[in-house]
A and B are shown apart, each in its own frame.
Chain A
Amino acid sequence: MTMSAPLPQSRQSHPSPLPGQHQQQNPPAYFVDTKKGEVSELKQLLKTLAVEKDPKRKRDVIKKVIAYMTLGIDVSRLFTEMVLAIETPDLVVKKMVYLYLCNYAHAKPDLALMCVNTLQRDCSADDPMVRGLALRALCSLRLPSMLEYISAPLRRALTDQSPYVRKTGVMGILKLFHLAPDVARSANFVDLLYNMIQDPDPHVVTNCLIVLGEMLAAEEGGMAVNQPLILHLLGRLGEFNEWGLTQILALVAKYHPADEEELFTIMNLLDPVLRTSNSGVVLSTIKCFLHLTTAVPDLQPQVYLRVKAPLLTLMAGGNPEVEYCILKHLEAMVHRAPGVFDDEYRQLYVRYNEPTFVKYEKIDILAIIANEETVGDIVAELAEYSTDVDQEVSRRSIRAIGNIAFRLPSAAGMVLERLVGFLDVDMNSMRPETILVMRDILRRYPERKAEALPRLQPCMRRVDNHPEAQAALIWMTGEYGGKNFPEGPYLLEPLIDSYATISSALVKLSLLTAAMKLFFKRPPEMQSMLGRLLAAATNDLTSQDVHDRALLYYRLLVADVEAAKRVVLGEHEMDVNRTTIVGTFAEERDMTSLRDKLFGEFNTLAVIYGKPSSQFVSPSYRIKPAETSLTPFMMGVQIGDSGNNGNNLLDLHADDSLLPGGGVECGVESESPSRAGSTNPEGSTAYTGPSSDLLDMSDMGVSLAVPTDRITTPSASQQDFCTSTLALIDSFRMEPETFQHLWAELPESISYNVDLTVLPTDGLSTLETSLLSRGIKCLASGEVTDVFKLFLYGQHELGRLYLIQIVIHKLSKRLNLTLKIGRPEMESEGDDGKDRSANAVVELITQVLSSLHLL
C-alpha cells in the first residue's frame, strides 16, 4: 500500500484544528498546518518513544504521524523510527504502525526489511487478532524482497485454529500471487485452496472462491465449476453473508445443470436469495437464473416474472445511485422481456426531488414499456416532464414520446397531436426538440404529414438559434412540401433571401437540398428561388462543404435535369404507391445483437454503459470468458434429443472437479493428474471437514467405468470381424476436455436409430471391449435410471476424428447414435466424403452390435 505520490493539493489545507477533537484532555492538534520542521519535530518525539512510559502519549505521537499521512504529507522520513515502534504490546499502536508500513514500505524497501522479524513473530502470536493483522500487513507490503518471508507464515496460517487468521491467509495468497505469480503457482496453493472450500467457516470459503477465481482467471477463465462443488456450496448457502453469496452466485452463473430436474433444484435453492436487501446479490441471482435457463428458453419469461417484484422493491428502497444501477438493468430486461414490466409503469414515474440520472433512466424506460393500454397515461405523464426546468429532462421526455410513436403505430396520431401542442409552449428547449422528434416520426409515418406540416410553419423563425431544429424543419419542408403543403416554397424563400445571415453550415446544406427537392416537385415556384440560392451558395466562402454541394447541384442541373431529379429525389419519390419510407432506422438495427452480447455480461458495467466490456476494460484486466462447458444436458438440447429426461448425469468433467477428500471416485481418464490426489498433507489435514457425501460421485447415481487396461489388449478373436474398410488408429487417445470442446464445436454429421433385440446383459463392458477392438474408444459410459449412455471416439488413419454418443433406452430398447466428425484442416474432402465416412462408422458399430447378438 503505497502513497508514492503525496497529494500536494491537501497540503495547505485545514489552517486550524477542527472542533470535536477536544474530547481528549491533551488535544493533539493533528490537523494543523505543517511545515517541514514539524515532521522533524515528530521524528524527535518518536526517538524518545522507547523510553516513554505513558502508553497514551505513545499512542498520541503515532497517531499524529498517521494524521500527517492522511493529509497527504510525506512522512516516509520517519520510517526507521516507526519500524522501531512496532515492538510494543499495545495493539492500538501496533495497528497504526502496520498501517504506516503498508503505506510507505514501497518507498523504503530496504528499511522495510527491518520489520520483517517482528511481523513474522507477530504471525505466531497467541492472540489470533494479532496473528491475522500481522499476516495481513506482511502480505500487503508489496515488496518482492519480502517474498521469501511470506510463504512460511502464509502456509501456517491456512491451518490456523482461528478462522480469522485462515481467511486472512487465503487472501494473502492472492496478494502473493500478484507479487510473484510463478511463486504462488509453483507453491501448490491452488490445490490447497480447492481443499479449503470445505472449511467449516464461510468467510474462509468465500475468500477461497475469490482467490481461486482471480488466480485462475487469466488461464482458465476462473474456477472449474462442477456439480459436486455447486451442490456443496448451495447446500451451505444460508451460512454466507451477502458478500460470500455473490461469490457463490458468480460460480453458479457459470454452471450448466445436468438436467431439468437439477435446474429446478438449483433455482429453488436460489429463490429465497431474492429476498435479501442487497441489490448486488439480487442482480447476481437474476444473472444466475437467466444463465441457467439459457438452455430452456421457455422458462425465461417465468424468470422475469419472478424477479419483477424484488427488483422494484430494491429500486424503491435503495439510495439513488443503486437505483440508477437497477434501472439500467431493468432497461436491459424490458428489451428482452417485452410485456413483463408493462403494468408497473407507475413505479417509473419521476419524482420531483430525484437526482437527474435517475430521472433520465426512468423516462427512457417508460418509452419502452408503453403498450396499447397504458400509452395514454404514459404520454400524459411524459408531457408533464416536457416542461421541466431541467432541459435534459424536458428533451428526453419529448424524445421518449416520439419513441413511443415509433413502437406503437396506433399511438402515432395521438403523439403527433401532443407534439403539435408543444410547439406553442414558450420554453427554450422544448420547441427544437419537438421539431427533431416530429421529423423522425414523419420519416416513419409520412402519411401523417398533413397533420403536422401546417403547424410547423410559424416555427421557422422561432428556432433561428437552434440550427439542428431549423435544419430539420427545412428538411421536412423539402421532403413533404409537395402536393399537400402549398406554402412550402414560401417557407424557404425568406431564408434564401437572408442567406447571408445564416451562420450554420448545417442549415445551409439542408436549405440547398430542400430547395432542390422542391424544385422538382414545384418547378415554376422554385426556379428563381433555387437560382438565387445556388448563386449565393457557390459564392459562399465560409464553408467548403456548402460551396461544393451547391456547385454539384448546379452542374448536375446543367448536365441533365432528369438525372439530377433521380439523384436528388432518390427512388422512393418516384414510387407513388410507397407510403412508408423507413422500416427500421439503421441505428436501431444493430441493437438486438448488441443487447444479446450485453446480456452475457449481466450485472457488470457493460449493462450500465450499454457496450461490451471489451470497449472499456483494458485487456490485462479482462476476464477470459469461460469455455462453454458441456454437459450431456446441454448436449441433449443441442442435438434435439428432447422428450428424453433420462439423458442426464454423465458428468463429463468429473476430473475437473478438483475436489478434495478421498471419497471422490474420479473415474474418467485417470491418467490426467487429478488434483484431488495431489493434496498437500499439511494443508488438507487440519481443517477439512469430514468428507461430505455431497462430493461423493458414487452418490450421483453414475457409475463411471473406464476400460483403460483394455486399450492395449484388444481381443484377438474379435479382430476377425474387421471386415469394414474403416481403418482407425489404435494408439490414438483423446482428453475429455478435447472431447467436450470438439463436441460443442462440431456439427452433427449423422443421427441414427436402431432397435435392439436384447439389452446388453452385462452392462456395457462387453460392448466397450468389442468397440475397442475395432479402434473405437470409450471416453465415458454409464447407466442412469432408464438409459445406458456411452461417449466414444476414434481417429481415422487420415486424421479425421469421430465423436460418438450412444444412448440406449432400456424400455424401448432403442439405440440412438449421434456422430460428429472433425477433420484436420489440410483435408479438403467434400461433404459427401464426410457422409461416406459417417456411414462407415455407423456400419462398423452395427457390425459390432450384431456380432454381440444385440441386433
Chain B
Amino acid sequence: MVASALFIMDLKGKIIISRNYRGDIPMTVSERFATYLQEKEESEQRPIFTEEGCTFAYLKYNNLFLLSVTKRNSNVALMLVYLSRLVDVFKEYFGELEEESIRDNFVIIYELMDETMDFGYPQTTEAKILREYITQEGNRLEAAPRPPVALTNTVSWRSEGIKHRKNEIFLDVIEKLNLLVSANGTVLHSEIIGAIRMKSFLSGMPELKLGLNDKLMFEASGRAVSASTKGKAIELEDIKFHQCVRLARFENDRTISFIPPDGEFDLMTYRLSTQVKPLIWVEAVVEPHSHSRIEYMIKAKSQFKSRSIANNVDIIIPVPSDVDTPSFKASIGTVTYLPDKDAIVWGIKQFHGQREYLMRAHFGLPSIAAEGSSANATEKCWKKPVQIKFEIPYFTVSGIQVRYLKIIEKSGFAALPWVRYITCAGDVYLRMGT
C-alpha cells in the first residue's frame, strides 16, 4: 500500500486536516471525494473507488471520514486496516476521535500522521509505543523524548524498565452474541465473537502463560478431558492473537505464551459458530384493527440459568411510522416510544433467568390513511426485526474459562490476576411474523 495523501474530513467531505505524503497528487483531489459523497446515493457508495487514476479508500468513523488516496494498485485491505489502526491510535491519545478532538490536537495529529506513515508506507501503529516519544506535554519535554528502545528490539510492543507499584493484571472475557431468528422461531444464524481483553500493570519484562479450557490444548498435552479438569473443554474455531503471542509455540502445543504490552489490549479474539438458543426469547403478536388502532402483545422469556441476571435489557420493537397516542402496560420495566426511530423500547434493568414477562402496547392509527401507503408502511414495519440488547455478567455462552495465568518475572514480584466474564448482545434480531 502506498498512500499518496491522507485526509480527515467531516461528513460533507470538507477537510479538517490532511497530509500529503508523496506530492504526486494535487490536494484538490479531496474535492472529487466531496463530489462523490454528494452525487452518489448512499446505496451506491463503496469504501473503495477509483476515479481518473486516483484510488480513494475511506472509513467512516463517528462524524468523520478518514480517506487515503493512492495512485498505485496496491494491497487494498491494508489501506483500510491502516486507517482503522490510525483511529485506534487517535482514540488512545484523545479518548475519542471526533471533529473537536482533532481541532484541539492538530499539531500532535500531524506528528502521528508522520510517525505512523512515511512516504505513504505504514511504519508503526502501536499506540503504546508512540505515546512514549510523540508528546506535546510541556512537563515531559525537559527530558527530551527519544525514540524508545522498543522501536528497535524484538519486543516492539513493550519498553524496558516499566515500573508499577502494585503489580496487577485484569482479564475480561467478553463474548458478543450475534443471532438471527426467523419469524417461526428457528435460529437462522448464530455466532459468538469472543475477546480476551487484558489490562496489564506489571513491571519489567514479565513472561505470561495463559491456560484456557481449550479442548485441543488438553489433547496436545496428552491429558484426557476428564472430570478432573473442571467444567467441560471447548473447541475454539478460529483464534486471532495480539502480535505479542508466540504463534509458533501455540501451533506446537497450544500454549498461549507472551510478554504483554503495558496497559489495555486485546490478547486474543475468537469465533464460534455453534448453534445458540436465544438467551432472551421474544414473541410479538401484532393486531392491527382496521385503520383505527394497532395493538402489540410482547412476551419476553429468559432462557438462561436462574442464578444469572441479564442487565440493561432493551427490547426494541418496530412500529408503523404514523401511529399516535401510545399507551403501554408492562409487568416489569419501562416502555418508551421513540417516534424518530419508529420503535418502542421496552427497557428492563434486571432480567433474572428463567422468568417470563409481558408487555402490551396500544397505538391509534390515523383513520383516514391513504389506502396504499398505510398498508405499505405497516407491512414495512413488520419487515423490521425486533432487536434485543443485554449484558449478562459472570457468564459466557461458549463456556470458555481461564484456568490459570502464570506470571514469571526476573524480580519475582507477586502479581494478582483478576478475571471477569461477560456476555453481551451483538446483533440479536428476531424477525416478526406477518
Contacts and interface: CB of A to CB of B under 8 A. Distances in A.
B228 interface: no
B151 interface: yes
Interface stretch (B105-113, B281-289, B332-340, B393-401): B105-113
Interface in B50-64: 50, 53, 55, 57-60
Interface stretch (A7-15, A290-298, A664-672): A7-15
B331 interface: no
Nearest to A601: B73
A449 B145 CA distance: 78
Interface stretch (B114-122, B303-311, B412-420): B114-122
Interface string A331-344: 00000000000001
B26 A5 contact: yes
Contacts of A357: 45-47
Interface in A1-58: 1-5, 7, 9-10, 13, 18-21, 30-31, 56
Given A99-B110, A279-B77, A609 B50 contact: yes
Given A242-B243, A392-B43, A618 B53 contact: yes
A603 B77 contact: yes
Given A4-B26, A203-B123, A387-B383, A617 B72 contact: yes
Given A63-B107, A66-B110, A243-B125, A316 B191 contact: yes
A115 interface: no
Contacts of A388: 383
A202 B110 CA distance: 25
B75 A277 contact: no
B165 interface: no
Interface in A270-322: 271-273, 275-281, 283-284, 309-310, 312-314, 316-322
Interface in B142-168: 144-147, 151-152, 154, 156
Contacts of B32: none
A95 B144 contact: no
A319 B100 contact: no
Interface in B87-134: 100-101, 103-104, 106-107, 110-111, 114, 118-119, 121-126, 133
A436 interface: no
Interface stretch (B209-217, B244-252, B347-355): B244-252
Contacts of B58: 321
B190 to A, nearest CB: 8
Interface residues of B, number: 108
B55 A321 contact: no
Nearest to A165: B147
A621 B53 contact: yes
Interface in B269-283: 269-271, 273
Contacts of A617: 50, 53, 71-73
Given A95-B111, A239-B154, A321-B58, A275 B247 contact: yes
B38 to A, nearest CB: 13
Contacts of B23: 1-2, 106, 142
Interface stretch (B233-241, B291-299, B360-368, B403-411): B233-241
Interface stretch (B11-19, B199-207, B219-227): B11-19
A570 interface: no
Interface in A591-618: 601, 603-609, 613, 616-618
Contacts of B422: none
B369 interface: no
A200 B152 CA distance: 8
B73 A613 contact: yes
Interface residues of A, number: 123
Contact of A280 (B81, B119, B376): B81
Contacts of B191: 316, 347
Given A319-B59, A352-B385, A163 B15 contact: no
Contact of A317 (B22, B126, B147, B269): B269
A790 interface: no
B427 A325 contact: no
Indicate the member of B81, B83, B111, B242 with the most A CB atoms within 10 Å.
B81
A565 to B, nearest CB: 45
Contacts of A178: 22, 24
A444 interface: no
Contact of A7 (B15, B242, B273): B15
A149 interface: no
Contact of A1 (B20, B28, B78): B20
A278 B238 contact: no
B429 interface: yes
B159 to A, nearest CB: 14
B389 interface: no
Given A91-B141, A351-B427, A608-B48, A317 B193 contact: yes
Given A5-B27, A66-B107, A92-B136, A322 B81 contact: yes
Indicate the member of A202, A250, A281, A313 with the most B CB atoms within 10 Å.
A313
Given A5-B27, A310-B238, A608-B48, A321 B80 contact: yes
Contact of B240 (A99, A277, A426): A277
Given A66-B107, A127-B144, A606 B14 contact: no
A329 B78 CA distance: 13
A224 interface: no
A422 interface: no
A621 B71 contact: yes
A480 interface: no
A242 B243 CA distance: 8
B423 interface: no
Interface string A830-844: 000000000000000
Contacts of B269: 277, 313, 317
Given A174-B119, A178-B22, A316-B178, A623 B238 contact: no
Interface of B: 1-2, 14-17, 19-24, 26-28, 30-31, 42-43, 45-48, 50, 53, 55, 57-60, 71-84, 100-101, 103-104, 106-107, 110-111, 114, 118-119, 121-126, 133, 136, 138, 141, 144-147, 151-152, 154, 156, 178, 180, 188-189, 191, 193, 237-243, 246-248, 250-251, 266, 269-271, 273, 372, 375-376, 379-380, 383-385, 387, 427, 429, 431
14 contacts: A5-B26, A63-B107, A66-B106, A70-B16, A132-B147, A207-B118, A207-B123, A313-B269, A329-B77, A351-B427, A426-B372, A608-B76, A617-B53, A618-B53
Given A324-B47, A601-B73, 5 more contacts: A136-B114, A164-B152, A201-B151, A272-B247, A325-B77
